[in-house]
Amino acid sequence: MSTDPTSYELPPAVPFANEGKTVAGWTLTWGVALGVLVFGIGMVMWEAWVLITGGAIGLVALIASQVLRAMGFGQRSRPRGKVDGDGDWYA
């Protein structure tokens, strides 16, 4: 371990400003949470149709999130290319 205060390495790129808080991300989060809640209620009630409904809600949330991501409402992907030495990290 070096004692030099400037002996650190910066990450290859700046992190995204939205921290993953996108429409697609929130759709997946709340949809799966609702699906798990309904599934849990179905486990307590011991009703097959409630269990299936909870699973279906989770599956629809997963598909909807992927569709929203494909439409551009998800996290942007980083541009591909050279990472080391291609511009200012802070820019």
Q: What is the pLDDT of residues 39-82, one digit of tens each?
A: 999 999 999 999 999 999 999 999 999 999 999 888 877 655 55
Place of tokens 């070096």: 2
Give the span between the Cα atoms of 43 and 47, in whole angstroms.
Answer: 7
Question: Which has more pLDDT, 1 or 18?
Answer: 18
What's the pLDDT band for 86 if we cut at 50, 70, 90? low
pTM above 0.85, yes or no: no
Q: What is the pLDDT of residue 9?
A: 72
| pLDDT value for 10 | 67
CB 25 within 8 A of CB 75: yes
Question: How confident is the model at residue 61, as a pLDDT?
Answer: 97
Q: Alpha-carbon distance 38 to 10, whole Å? A: 45
CB distance 34 to 57 below 8 Å = yes
